């Protein structure tokens, strides 16, 4: 909803009557003002009551489905919307570690490769990006193994982003690349 609030004034300026965004159907039911339907509907009622000439519409997608949609329909956009969470001062040493340990695993210029946003994007790429066919098996293995260790470390603080869509796709990637299942919790 925060994103819609930011975009709405610009959309009105362009003459749009609707903002179409990703719906967050998997968000916790107790999380207020998320992208769940009940809050989108509430937001539309507020906009109408204030006579703001725009409404929000949404398509419910899991976090990983959005990466898949972009790779299928707008692959060149993904590098621009992958918002790495690492501070710029840490990004270079983290990238150097990826270059040392998984040299054929391709990172976008904007990526550190290790934060939650980069892992979500790279997991999606592993499953749906034809460019990943050129990655050496040992580098794919490095990504999957380091992610297996990283998940329990981050579960407490990143649970909302990891459970659901991310874990389902992670298990799919383990099966695709014939890794044994490594429990995340
Ligand atoms: Zn990152």
Block means of pLDDT (10 residues each) for the chain, length 185 residues?
Answer: 85 93 72 77 93 91 84 91 90 96 95 95 94 93 95 92 89 86 46
If one counts the domains in the chain, the total is 2
For ligand 1, a single-atom ion, the residues with CB < 5 A are 84, 86, 112, 115, 118
54 in the same domain as 21: yes
Question: Is 181 a member of any domain?
Answer: no
Question: Is 71 a member of any domain?
Answer: yes
53 in the same domain as 101: no
Ligand 1 centre from 167 Cα, in Å? Answer: 18
- Length of the chain, in residues: 185
56 in the same domain as 79: no
Contact 166, 65 (CB under 8 A): no
Ligand 1 centre from 92 Cα, in Å? Answer: 10
What is the dihedral sign for C-alpha 58, 62, 65, 66?
positive
Ligand 1 centre from 63 Cα, in Å? Answer: 16
d(CA 13, CA 62): 30
Exposure of 92 by Cβ count < 10 A (0-12 exposed, 13-18 middle, 19+ buried)?
exposed
Q: Containing H/E element for 19?
A: strand 18-23
d(CA 117, CA 99): 18
pLDDT at 10: 93
86 in the same domain as 34: no
């Amino acid at each position: 909803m925060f994103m819609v609030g930011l975009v709405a004034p610009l959309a009105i300026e362009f003459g749009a009557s609707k903002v179409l965004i990703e719906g967050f159907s998997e968000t916790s039911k107790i999380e207020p003002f998320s992208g769940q339907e009940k809050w989108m509907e509430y937001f539309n009622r507020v906009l109408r009551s204030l006579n703001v000439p725009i409404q929000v519409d949404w398509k419910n997608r899991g976090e990983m489905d959005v990466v898949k949609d972009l790779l299928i329909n707008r692959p060149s956009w993904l590098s621009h919307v992958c918002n790495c969470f690492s501070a710029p001062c840490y990004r270079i040493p983290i990238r150097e570690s990826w270059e040392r340990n998984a040299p054929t695993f391709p990172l976008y210029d904007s990526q550190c490769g290790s934060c939650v946003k980069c892992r979500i994007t790279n997991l999606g790429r592993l499953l749906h990006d034809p460019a990943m066919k050129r990655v050496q098996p040992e580098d794919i293995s490095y990504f999957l193994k380091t992610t297996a260790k990283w998940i329990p470390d981050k579960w407490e603080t990143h649970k909302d982003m990891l459970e659901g869509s991310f874990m389902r796709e992670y298990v799919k990637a383990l099966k695709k690349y014939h890794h044994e299942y490594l429990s995340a919790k």
